[in-house]
């Protein structure tokens, strides 16, 4: 089932007489329950695409339909509701609150989410059952990233948006994080969108989107994506 549609979406920035097209007439669709990788160099437009899909930014023109709703025309308050109910965010840097415990960081999403999942349950699923009462500074980088993932999943969103989620991790920890994300697609039918410049991650995608100079260069459906364990990291 189609969950996302970009219809001739552009995001243009103006600085005096200069115009920069971060995205230029981009169109594509995404199916629910897929593992999607958006690949491209710095400045290609991939982070802009992610921010538009996440309701953090709004397009200059075009339509963005998510679950049948055009988010391009939503007000600031409506976009806030959209972000709270439909999408979860996982960033390269974990954005955890230092003064809160692991459990409190994840449970925080319950304040603005109607259908949130138990923080304890999700933390157990990502292997942090023994760390609930610890603070972020007491965890390794991989453990902090798992807290970040647990927090995003606890919102019970339809779409998980990931901006270089393994960029600050060593390869073995990065593989663990990717397995967790892939499991959310395969076992829980979540749509995962990962923005990265790492070609290796692209090999495991159901759908690979290559972005360059604000345009979609390739849209490839990979019928037989490579297993995380079979990729030479």
DSSP H helices, the chain, are: 46-53, 76-85, 102-107, 119-125, 141-154, 171-188, 199-202
Nearest-angstrom CA–CA distance, 91 and 66: 21
Give CA separation, 32 vs 5, 20, 160, 162, in Å: 11, 32, 11, 16
Task: Give this prediction's pTM.
Answer: 0.88
| 210, β-bridge pairs | 39, 218
Give domain limits for the chain.
2-230
Digit-coded pLDDT (tens) for 64-87: 999 999 999 899 999 998 998 889
Digit-coded pLDDT (tens) for 12-66: 998 888 889 999 999 999 999 999 999 998 889 999 999 999 999 999 999 999 9
Residues contacting residue 168 through CB under 8 Å, at least 6 positions apart: 92, 93, 141, 145
Q: How many residues does the chain have?
A: 233
Has residue 128 got a pLDDT over 70?
yes
3-state secondary structure of 223: coil
Cβ–Cβ < 8 Å for 195, 38: yes
**What's the pLDDT score for residue 120?**
94
CATH 3.10.270.10 fits 2-230, yes or no: no
């Amino acid at each position: 089932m189609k969950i996302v549609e970009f219809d001739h979406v552009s995001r243009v920035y103006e600085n005096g007489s200069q115009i920069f097209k971060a995205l230029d007439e981009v169109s594509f669709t995404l199916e629910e329950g897929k593992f999607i990788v958006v690949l491209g160099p710095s400045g290609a437009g991939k982070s802009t695409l992610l921010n538009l899909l996440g309701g953090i930014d709004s397009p200059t023109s075009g339509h963005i339909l998510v679950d049948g709703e055009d988010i391009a025309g939503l007000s600031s308050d409506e976009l806030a509701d959209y972000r709270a109910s439909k999408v979860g965010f996982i960033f390269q840097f974990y954005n955890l609150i230092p003064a809160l415990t692991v459990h409190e960081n994840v449970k925080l999403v319950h304040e603005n989410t109607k259908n949130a999942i138990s923080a304890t349950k999700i933390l157990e699923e990502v292997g942090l059952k023994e760390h609930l009462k610890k603070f972020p500074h007491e965890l390794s980088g991989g453990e902090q990233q798992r807290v970040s993932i647990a927090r995003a999943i606890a919102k019970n969103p339809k779409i998980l948006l990931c901006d270089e989620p393994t960029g600050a991790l060593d390869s073995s920890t990065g593989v663990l994080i990717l397995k967790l994300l892939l499991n959310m697609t395969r076992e829980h039918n979540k749509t995962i969108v990962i923005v990265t410049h790492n070609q290796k991650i692209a090999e495991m995608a159901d759908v690979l989107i290559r972005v360059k100079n604000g345009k979609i260069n390739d849209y490839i459906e990979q019928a037989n994506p490579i297993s995380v364990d079979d990729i030479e990291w």
